[in-house]
Amino acid sequence: MLVALLLASASFANAAIDSSLVIVPINRPVLGPKPPIRPKQIVGDDITAQYYNGVLTIDFNIDLGTADIVVTNLTTGEAWSDTTSGLSSVAMLLSGDGGYYTVEIATDYGTYSGVFEL
C-alpha cells in the first residue's frame, strides 16, 4: 500500500542531465527529531543521491548517526543493502535493470526515502 502510494504520488521528474544520469530525490522523515545543525553548515538537503552507469551514489551531507540503506527494484524484486555512519558517501552497484526503485535510509533521526525509475 505504501509503495503504491509512493509510486502514485511521485512525479518521477528526474533531472536527467544525460540519458544515464538520474537525480534521486530523497525525502526527509515526517516524524522524529531534527538532525543537529553544525556551525557554518549550509542548510540544504540532508542526503543527496544520484544514479549513473549502474552505480547509486548516496551522499550524507550531515551526520545522521548510523544509516541502514535498502534499495529495492520493485519490478524485479532485487534488493541491495549497506550500512554507514557519519558524514560519508556510499556507492552501491545496482543491476541497472529497468523498473521502479525505492530507497529507504533508516537513521537515528527517522527514515528517509526516495523513488526513481530506470
Sorted by where each begins, the domain ranges of the chain are 2-29+43-117
Confidence of residue 100 (pLDDT cuts 50, 70, 90): very high
pLDDT in tens, 33-82: 666 555 444 445 889 999 999 999 999 988 889 999 999 999 999 999 99
Query: Greater confidence, 17 or 45?
Result: 45
Element housing 9 (H / E): helix 2-9
Q: What is the pTM of this model?
A: 0.73
Mean of per-residue pLDDT scores for the chain: 79
Residues of the chain above pLDDT 70, percent = 71
Q: Residue 16: its pLDDT value, please?
A: 39
Domain 2-29+43-117, CATH among 1.10.460.10, 2.20.25.240, 2.60.40.3080, 3.30.2350.10: 2.60.40.3080
Q: How far is CA 93 from CA 25, 31, 40, 52, 107, in A?
A: 18, 30, 33, 10, 21
User: Rounded mean pLDDT of 20-36?
Assistant: 74
Q: How many whole angstroms separate alpha carbon 22 and alpha carbon 51?
A: 5
- Range from 13-17, 49-53, 86-90 carrying the lowest mean pLDDT: 13-17
